[in-house]
RNA sequence: GGUCUCGUGGCCGAGUGGCUAGGCAGAGCUCUGCAAAAGCUUCUACAGCAGUUCGAAUCUGCUCGAGACCUCCA
């Protein structure tokens, strides 16, 4: 068995993954800012780290997966004024800030369930950890790497950079930052332009505010993740994840803060997923192409030709390696939808085939087609290697698809039932379940589990069978065509059976 | 302007020195009362130019093009 290798953004190379404590993994992933409804952008990192989490569990690790909810403090620049996103929106919607945050947190959780993402082990909120954040800021001041101005606290990046490799993660050079950082509000308080806020004094109209040693205010952009990762995973932990856009300044600043407080780089492996683009352009407010997840699922967005189910989106994301950009378009989504349907139907078929074969039919090693048997076994085993090579879900799916014709042919008779040994069939079923459901986290989207409906379907199929046996094709076609109009596809199987799917 | 990434067939996307990923779409055939589904076969590639090499989509250089980050962002 080969070892798990991950691409570490911090060293820019693929490394063998060795957890700090054998058998245990601590993973921190930057979660959403709940100042608005979750959009397509939230799908990529949450699904990426979900399959990473699932895979680590599959490998037998005990994983503590921490994903924060940012419900306070982030700034948004709109025109000249810098305002707190959450408090501003709260005024507009006439809600308590916490009411607003709760609303969007609930919507985020709803979307995560749609995607079949597992819950993190701990989901801490920024507002719930003000005390820890203040404590951390005090330590940084005591260590001499932060200074207080008018009730705000700033991190002294220049001093830090003289001692530590500031910019290592994101590939920044401090001198370049000096020249290129553009003007922002409040710059005049800072000693150097690249310094960042640890704590901001709240202006009187600001609703979200907490008491601190420096007066009433709210925490800076980056301190929450340092405080909460330290609290729940320790001063050094295994994996820190997030979107690539967070590398600078967010993760770079986190490293600086934690390095001063805890005297070490917090995480050993930094994993960053790439971005989603829409028709080749980055998704973002500035481009006016942000699609909310609720809009994806219903198709109600000018850019969408139809609704796309959560599993279609999940499958689409899985078809790409997580470190590549992924371009959304109607054509690509529709292709994913069809592909997933094909894969899922083959998987359903496989489960039935293996159940039919039973356990005791013949010797487990008997195969009428050793070459095919070997090929299937090899393609199954290969999936382990693909996944261990930096979580290559794209290649795993390719192999699963390679096996789809084999499954369909076993059913259709193009391949003899005894071509594969019972042991290989069992193995195939186990791998399909492990990968499709447990690791990739896909699930069926059946819409027809209704008992009465299936009873009616049986009846219609029965009537149609009678009609066909009498060569009464006008009746049989009428049944099929009218069902088709309702979105139910009848398929006459070779063996005389009839199956149906919901279009 | 600085830093970096990337350019693969009609579309989406793996791969990264030799052995043609995969999905969707297209074509032909088989099966079929007809369909659908399925199976088999199959056409479109590696931005351009030059170099390294027995051999490059894969390495090097240049040109062109696209994108990201530097500012909240997933």
Distance A173 CA to B23 C1' (A): 42
CATH number at residue A424: 1.10.730
Greater pLDDT, A453 or A19: A19
Residues A376 and A457 in one domain: no
Give CA separation, A26 vs A241, A249, A262, A322, A482, in Å.
11, 23, 17, 20, 55
The A 406-445 residues near strand B by Cβ under 7 Å are 408-409, 411-412, 414
pLDDT for position A124: 96
In a domain, A340, yes or no: yes
Q: What is the pLDDT of residues A428-487, one digit of tens each?
A: 999 999 999 999 999 987 655 677 888 888 888 889 988 888 888 999 899 998 888 888
Distance A322 CA to B2 C1' (A): 27
In a domain, A284, yes or no: no
In a domain, A291, yes or no: no
Q: What is the pLDDT of residues A32-83, one digit of tens each?
A: 988 888 999 899 999 999 999 999 999 999 999 999 999 886 433 322 234 5
How many angstroms separate the CA atoms of A50 and A393, rounded?
Answer: 12
Sequence-separated (6 or more) residues with CB below 8 Å from residue A179: none
Q: Give percent above pLDDT 90 in chain A.
A: 56
Q: What is the pLDDT of residues A347-380, one digit of tens each?
A: 999 999 988 776 555 666 778 889 999 999 999 9
Residues A254 and A116 in one domain: yes
With a 7 Å cutoff on the CB, does A315 touch strand B?
no
pLDDT for position A273: 93
pLDDT for position A420: 92
Mean of pLDDT values over A288-311 = 90
A250 assigned to a ligand binding site: yes
In a domain, A445, yes or no: no
Distance A326 CA to B49 C1' (A): 30
Q: State the number of CA atoms in the 13 A half-sphere of A85 facing the CB.
A: 17
Residue A147 has pLDDT above 90, yes or no: yes
How many angstroms separate the CA atoms of A72 and A357, rounded?
Answer: 57
Residues A311 and A352 in one domain: yes
* DSSP one-letter string for A409-467: HHHHTSS-TTSS-HHHHHHHHHHHIIIIIIIS------S---HHHHHHHHHHHHHHHHH
Nucleotide with smallest C1' distance to residue A285 CA: B73
Residues A90 and A239 in one domain: yes
pLDDT for position A44: 94
Residues A213 and A105 in one domain: yes
Domain that holds residue A478: 451-502
Q: Is A248 helix (H, G, I), strand (E, B) or coil?
A: helix
A143 assigned to a ligand binding site: no
pLDDT for position A430: 96
Residues A214 and A332 in one domain: no
To the nearest whole number, what is the mean pLDDT of chain A?
87
Greater pLDDT, A29 or A285: A29
Q: What is the pLDDT of residues A485-503, one digit of tens each?
A: 888 888 887 777 788 887 6
How many angstroms separate the CA atoms of A298 and A81, rounded?
Answer: 35
How many angstroms separate the CA atoms of A51 and A133, rounded?
Answer: 30
Residues A484 and A402 in one domain: no
Residues A252 and A399 in one domain: no
In a domain, A354, yes or no: yes
Nucleotide with smallest C1' distance to residue A414 CA: B39
In a domain, A288, yes or no: no
CATH number at residue A115: 3.40.50.620
Show which of A206, A238, A273 is a domain's final residue: A273
Nucleotide with smallest C1' distance to residue A75 CA: B72
A261 assigned to a ligand binding site: no
Sequence-separated (6 or more) residues with CB below 8 Å from residue A213: A134, A138
The A 188-217 residues near strand B by Cβ under 7 Å are none
With a 7 Å cutoff on the CB, does A173 touch strand B?
yes
Chain-centroid distance, C-alpha A244: 13
Residues A228 and A363 in one domain: no
Q: What is the pLDDT of residues A269-294, one digit of tens each?
A: 999 999 898 877 778 776 778 899 99
Distance A483 CA to B34 C1' (A): 16
How many angstroms separate the CA atoms of A322 and A394, rounded?
Answer: 9
With a 7 Å cutoff on the CB, does A490 touch strand B?
yes
Number of domain units in chain A = 3
In a domain, A321, yes or no: yes
Residues A487 and A375 in one domain: no
Residue A177 has pLDDT above 70, yes or no: no
pLDDT for position A100: 84
The A 342-361 residues near strand B by Cβ under 7 Å are 342, 345
In a domain, A286, yes or no: no
Q: What is the pLDDT of residues A184-222, one digit of tens each?
A: 445 568 888 788 999 989 887 777 889 999 999 999 889
Residue A14 has pLDDT above 80, yes or no: yes
Residues A245 and A312 in one domain: no
Residues A388 and A483 in one domain: no
């Amino acid at each position: 068995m080969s070892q798990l290798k991950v691409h570490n953004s911090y060293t820019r190379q693929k490394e063998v993954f060795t957890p700090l404590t054998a058998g245990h993994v601590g993973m921190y992933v930057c979660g959403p800012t709940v100042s608005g409804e979750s959009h397509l952008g939230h799908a990529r990192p949450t699904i990426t780290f979900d399959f990473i989490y699932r895979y680590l569990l599959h490998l037998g690790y005990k994983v503590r997966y921490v994903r924060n909810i940012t419900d306070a403090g982030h700034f948004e620049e709109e025109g000249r004024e810098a305002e707190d996103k959450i408090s501003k929106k709260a005024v507009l919607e006439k809600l308590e800030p916490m009411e607003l945050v709760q609303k969007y947190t609930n919507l985020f959780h709803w979307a995560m369930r749609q995607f079949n993402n597992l819950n993190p082990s701990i989901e801490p909120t920024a507002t719930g950890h003000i005390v820890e954040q203040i404590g951390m800021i005090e330590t940084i001041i005591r260590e001499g790497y932060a200074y207080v101005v008018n009730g705000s606290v700033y991190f002294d990046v220049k001093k830090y950079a003289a001692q530590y490799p500031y910019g290592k993660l994101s590939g920044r050079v401090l001198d370049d930052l000096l020249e290129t950082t553009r003007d922002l509000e409040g710059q005049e308080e800072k000693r150097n332009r690249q310094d960042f806020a640890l704590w901001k004094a709240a202006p009187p109209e600001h609703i979200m505010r907490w008491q601190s040693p420096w007066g009433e205010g709210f925490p800076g952009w980056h301190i929450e993740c340092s405080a909460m990762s330290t609290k729940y995973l320790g001063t050094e932990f295994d994996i820190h994840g997030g979107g690539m856009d967070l590398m600078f300044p967010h993760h770079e600043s986190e490293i600086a803060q934690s390095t001063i407080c805890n005297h070490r780089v917090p995480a050993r492996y930094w994993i960053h997923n790439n971005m989603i683009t829409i028709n080749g352009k980055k998704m973002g407010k500035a481009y006016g192409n942000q699609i909310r997840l609720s809009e994806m699922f219903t198709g109600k967005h000018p850019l969408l030709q139809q609704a796309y189910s959560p599993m279609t989106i999940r499958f689409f994301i899985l078809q790409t390696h997580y470190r590549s950009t992924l371009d959304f378009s109607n054509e690509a989504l529709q292709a994913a939808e069809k592909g997933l349907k094909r894969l899922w139907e083959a998987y359903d078929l496989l489960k039935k085939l293996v159940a039919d074969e039973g356990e005791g039919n013949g010797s487990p090693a008997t195969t009428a087609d050793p070459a095919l048997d070997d090929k299937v076994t090899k393609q199954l085993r290969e999936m382990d290697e693909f996944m261990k090579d930096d979580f290559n879900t794209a290649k795993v799916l390719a192999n699963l698809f390679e096996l789809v014709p084999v499954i369909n042919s076993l059913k259709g008779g193009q391949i003899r039932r005894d071509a594969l040994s019972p042991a290989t069939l069992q193995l195939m079923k186990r791998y399909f379940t492990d990968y499709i459901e447990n690791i990739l986290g896909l699930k069926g989207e059946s819409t027809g589990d209704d008992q009465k409906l299936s009873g009616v379907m049986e009846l219609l199929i029965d009537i149609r069978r009678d009609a066909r046996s009498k060569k009464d094709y006008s009746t049989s076609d009428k049944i099929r065509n009218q069902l088709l109009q309702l979105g139910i596809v009848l398929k006459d199987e070779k063996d005389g059976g009839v199956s149906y799917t919901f279009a």
